[in-house]
A = this chain, B = another copy of it.
């Protein structure tokens, strides 16, 4: 299970990826895990949060727009994106955001 990302003080960037999957796994779970591990190894990666109950929301956090662009262009990630379009996703929306302010609470 994903936790709340321990991000630094703003400003930093967030990529909100909202999606509906197609029917069946078709290799998705294995690739999703592999991509998460690979993302964590990239320059500027700050954290990731995921939840799905029908609609899936994954938010990844990054230091700079350049880090996001580099991850988007990563060769293995590009292959995964192609399978995303072809096989895994019915629809998705990606939003690239500047996190300006944050606050939290823990019991």
| Chain A residues within CB distance 8 Å of chain B | 1-5, 7, 10, 14, 16, 18-20, 22, 49-57, 59, 85, 89-107
A57→B98 CA distance, assembly (Å): 18
Q: Point out the residues of chain B lying under 8 angstroms from A95, CB to CB.
A: 7, 10, 14, 99, 101-102
Q: Point out the residues of chain B lying under 8 angstroms from A99, CB to CB.
A: 16, 95-97
Assembly of this chain: how many copies? 2
* A53 & B51 in contact (Cβ 8 Å cutoff): yes
**Contacts A16-B14, A51-B54 given: A4-B92 contact, CB under 8 Å?**
yes
Instruction: Name the one of B4, B59, B102 contacting A20, with C-beta atoms under 8 angstroms.
Output: B4
10 further A-B pairs in the complex, CB-CB below 8 A; given A2-B54, A98-B98? A4-B91, A10-B95, A16-B99, A51-B53, A53-B53, A91-B107, A93-B103, A93-B105, A96-B102, A98-B100
